[in-house]
Structure 1
């Protein structure tokens, strides 16, 4: 996966912004991150794409509910793990 380490760093930074209560800045960073990550997931097997879409749905639900801590956890733990798992394919 192209830019895996860059995606990991961006995801961690975005999670940190949400934890600091900088939700507007974090939201913009998350949009950029999702836009950058999406093309990489499009190239992966269907099972990984489904995991990505499920995770993305959960993250967007957290954003809508303004549950910034849960969203930060998804970004920092779930997304990074999915990115790393995808690399092993």
Structure 2
């Protein structure tokens, strides 16, 4: 802000009028930056989970060839845990206490 403009603002009896277009532009820019950062973090998180899942599947596949009965139990147990976790997260998200 220039010194002249600052002096006019300080000497004015009331606050200067806001330009709604400027305010909207600033808000949109800030929101776009936040969205892009969240999207990038989501992509990285999903890529990490996919890599970890692929590694675990390869390891499980090589181990399951020699331990078929135990592998079936492990896969079913992991499926149950995944289902319970998804259900708990959904219920927590829908809970009125979390709002």
Same fold (TM over 0.5): no
What TM-score comes out, normalization by structure 2 length?
0.30
What TM-score comes out, normalization by structure 1 length?
0.32
Considering Cα pairs closer than 8 Å and 6+ residues apart, tell me whether 1 or 2 has the greater RCO: 1
